[in-house]
Amino acid sequence: MDLFENMQPNKLEIVKDAYLLKRYALANEKPLLMDLAQVISQAPLRHMMTKMGFAMSAAMTNCGELGWVSDRQGYRYDMKDPATNAAWPLMPVSFQQLATFAAAEAGFDDFVPDACLINQYQVGASMGLHQDKNELDFNQPIVSVSLGVPAVFQFGGLTRTDKTLKIPLVHGDVVVWGGQSRLNFHGIAPLKMNTHPILGAYRYNLTFRKAG
Ligand SMILES: O=C(O)CCC(=O)C(=O)O
Ligand SMILES: [Fe+2]
């Protein structure tokens, strides 16, 4: 047995080029949660509509230069919040640093996100299997931060029907994927009822991307 095998028990390889960094966001938890509340107060969470006319089950908002939006026209990145017609809130330094450091920890150097999508899940809310492919440069990874109540992350392959790994995520966990797994299908199973001591009955997810 290799003596050094488990030197980094908090960094788990999911598949090639995809890593789970257990509790990675907790090192800077306080500023992160304060900044999250600040962003949400400037750009309130809302249930966006899909092209098909259904409201998404996660409530969403954004910060950073570009925000992910969906409406009856479809989905896209936009520099303005359609709810206020103002620019999205600036990406807080605590957010940007977390994303850059987590990406580097997973082997993706110099990641500078220009978009942070904030998803808020309540009990029963989910996100169906999808690929993140609205971004211009697939050489840039995705950094996904879980906060609040636990959830099950589904991580599949390059086709929708590939089997998915079920990965339990708790408060502070960070998933980073890029390289050969950048376009893998992924989703979130319906949220089970639970309470987090700080964030209450919700799960929040921050998805950092270099969109433009
Ligand atoms: O909530 C999550 O963990 C995943 C979110 C996601 O995949 C997305 O917003 O594209
Ligand atoms: Fe996604």
- ipTM of predicted complex: 0.99
Name which residue sits closest to atom 2 of ligand 1, judged by CA.
205
Q: Which two tokens stand for residue 193?
A: 């009822």
DSSP β-bridge partners for residue 209: 115
Q: Which two tokens stand for residue 153?
A: 């992350």
Mutate to test the pocket of ligand 1, among 127, 170, 203 (most ligand atoms within 8 A of CB): 127
Rounded CA separation 155/21 (Å)? 15
Contact 147, 204 (CB under 8 A): yes
Q: Which two tokens stand for residue 107?
A: 């082997």
100-125 confidence digits (pLDDT tens): 999 999 999 999 999 999 999 999 99
Rounded CA separation 162/68 (Å)? 26
DSSP β-bridge partners for residue 56: none
Q: Which residues contact ligand 1 via a Cβ below 6 A? A: 117, 119, 127, 132, 144, 153, 186, 188, 205, 207
158-212 confidence digits (pLDDT tens): 999 999 999 999 999 999 999 999 999 999 999 999 999 999 999 999 999 999 9
Mutate to test the pocket of ligand 1, among 14, 185, 186, 209 (most ligand atoms within 8 A of CB): 186
Contact 112, 64 (CB under 8 A): no
pTM (two decimals): 0.96
Out of 3.30.2130.10, 2.60.40.10, 2.60.120.590, 3.40.50.620, select the CATH number for domain 11-209.
2.60.120.590
| Domain range annotation of the chain | 11-209
Mean pLDDT of 154-159: 98
